[in-house]
A and B are shown apart, each in its own frame.
Chain A
Amino acid sequence: MRVAVEEIEKGFEEEVIVRCYDKNAEWVEHVREAAVGALSVCGWRENTLRWLKLSEVFYFEVVDDRSFLYTQAEVFEAKEKLYEFEQLCTGSNLFRCSKSMILNAKKIDYVRPSLSGRFEAVLSNGEKVIVSRKYVADLKRMLGVQEI
């Protein structure tokens, strides 16, 4: 891979442009982290605020108009609405998986079909979540599954 560094004059805005085949590739995320810091979101738990890296989040869910962030073993309440969190996740490994949930594709251990016409994703912490058929195309695209 070629790396180009261009020196610019004072007064111009510094920027990093990444030309890649897959914008969800891990190294792209590392470049972004190095440039602007890791994308993070704040979550509340027992009146304490904690900043969570997006890569730590297993999934984001809205239940009864309240938003929650789920990590490996903890649950945090979040302020963002579903669409706000979805915008924040653009270009990351998180994708909309159902009407009320955004899931981290990197945390999926495996998926299996369900009789209800949807998919059940088993996460690396053993949790099971539903992936709607409507959104499974996004997961396939994200993972690089070739259509046969």
Chain B
Amino acid sequence: MKNITIWARRYVLVYGIIMLCTFFMCLLFNPDSELPVVSFFGRIMVFALIALLSLVVYYAKEELTVKAWWMRTVLHLLVLEAVLLPLAHHWGFWHGGTDILVYAGFILLAKAVWHLMDYGRNAKTAAQINERIRKNRLEKGIGKE
């Protein structure tokens, strides 16, 4: 149940990030666009699902080293670009030569935002833990063990 909640939360987060990117893409490059609401939202849901499924590239039996993590991160980006770009083209989200660069750039940006949010959340957790460690030491009236 806990795992389902975690993945559901991730799905909503990815969906939100894609929607934000789409908003800015349209705002900058196609402010007059009129989207068919149902099919558009449905397609974004498919994008979010693909983005989540592609996280399988991070799966490893052993703990990933930092270098291995970076390699998988690059691989993940390539997988996202390779799957989402043709699909987006098929659905008419981009057409010309410049479009593809902009779209690829936004996929990169969305991935960067995902990792930054992750980092921010972890920074908050780390601060909570460090505060608790500090308090525990003070309560015991000792310095470092």
- How would residues 17 to 41 of chain A score, 1 for a CB under 8 Å from any chain B CB and 0 otherwise? 0000000001000000000000000
- Residue numbers in B under 8 Å from A139 (CB-CB): 129
* Chain A interface, number of residues (Cβ within 8 angstroms): 30
Inter-subunit contact B63/A108 (CB<8 Å): no
- Asked if residues A112 and B69 are in contact (CB atoms below 8 Å), the reply is no
Contact check: which of A107, A115, A140 meets B128 at CB < 8 Å? A140
Q: List 6 A-B contacts (CB under 8 A).
A: A110-B129, A116-B69, A117-B115, A140-B129, A140-B132, A145-B128
Name A residues whose Cβ lies closer than 8 Å to a Cβ of B.
26, 98-101, 106-119, 124, 130, 132-133, 136, 139-140, 143-145, 148
Interface size on B, residues (CB 8 A): 23
Q: Are A144 and B133 in contact (CB under 8 A)?
A: no
Kindly specify which of B25-33, B40-48, B119-127 makes contact with the partner chain. B119-127
Q: Which residues of B contact A107 (CB under 8 A)?
A: 145
Q: Which of A124, A140, A144 contacts B125 (CB 8 A)?
A: A140
Assess the A117–B128 pair: CB atoms within 8 A.
no
Once the chains bind, are B63 and A100 in contact (CB under 8 Å)?
Answer: yes
Give the complex CA separation of A136 and B128 in angstroms: 12
Residue of B nearest to A61 (CB): B63
